């Protein structure tokens, strides 16, 4: 088992597109394949899984728990998908791309194959700033 922090190149809030699996084979009215694009809801880098908004929707039968005010019924929710089945969307071309890390202006940034810098999602910046201010 590995020790330490496991970092993922895909972050919560990123725009991704399916490149394999059930969501890759979606077709529109004319019969053209339109793989699902969506925003990343959650990331589990240890297991290598992500949840995509509106992707891999499963139905869960949930029993009511009156003590906890939980309603019963059939609930639709997103399932975990393997990270290898999705790719980040290039901000310049809008196509799936691989990314690498580079040091630019003394900061480590994610860069697409086109050379365009991929910005950090908005909430990641706020979380980092909050954690830095907590030490003061």
Residue 27 DSSP class: B
Q: Has residue 67 been placed in a domain?
A: yes
Q: Has residue 41 been placed in a domain?
A: yes
Structure token digits, residue 31: 């019969």
CATH number for 87: 2.30.30.30
Nearest to 98 by CA among 90, 25, 106, 74: 90
Q: Has residue 4 been placed in a domain?
A: no
**pTM score above 0.95:** no
Q: Helices marked H in 1-136 — which ranges? A: 122-134
- In whole angstroms, give the CA distance from residue 7 to residue 101: 12
- pLDDT tens digit sequence for 85-119: 999 999 888 899 999 999 999 999 999 988 889 88
* pLDDT on residue 3: 74
Q: Has residue 10 been placed in a domain?
A: no
Sheet with 37-44, side-by-side order of all strands: 81-82, 49-52, 37-44, 15-18, 86-89, 96-97
Considering its fold, how many domains does the chain have in total? 1
Q: Has residue 75 been placed in a domain?
A: yes
Residue 8 near residue 117, CB atoms below 8 Å: no
> In which domain, by residue range, is 28 found?
15-134
Q: Has residue 109 been placed in a domain?
A: yes
Residue 88 near residue 15, CB atoms below 8 Å: yes
Query: Which single residue is written with the structure tokens 């394949």?
Result: 33
Structure token digits, residue 128: 């980092």
* Half-sphere exposure in the Cβ direction for 110 (13 Å, CA): 18
Q: Has residue 65 been placed in a domain?
A: yes
Mean pLDDT of the chain: 88
- pLDDT tens digit sequence for 52-85: 999 999 999 999 999 999 999 999 999 999 999 9
- In whole angstroms, give the CA distance from residue 51 to residue 112: 22
Q: Has residue 2 been placed in a domain?
A: no
Report whether pLDDT(49) > 90. yes
């Amino acid at each position: 088992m590995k020790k330490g922090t496991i970092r993922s190149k895909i972050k919560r809030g990123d725009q991704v597109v399916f490149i394999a699996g059930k969501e890759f084979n979606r077709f529109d009215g004319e019969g053209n394949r339109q793989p699902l694009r969506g925003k990343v809801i959650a990331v589990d880098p240890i297991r290598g899984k992500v949840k995509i908004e509106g992707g891999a929707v499963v139905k869960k039968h949930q029993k009511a728990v009156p003590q906890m005010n939980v309603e019963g019924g059939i609930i639709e929710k997103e399932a975990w998908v393997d990270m290898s089945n999705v790719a980040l969307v290039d901000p310049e071309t809008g196509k799936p791309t691989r990314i690498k890390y580079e040091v630019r202006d003394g900061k480590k940034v994610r860069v697409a194959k086109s050379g365009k810098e991929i910005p950090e999602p908005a909430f990641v910046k706020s979380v980092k700033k909050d954690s830095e201010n907590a030490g003061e």
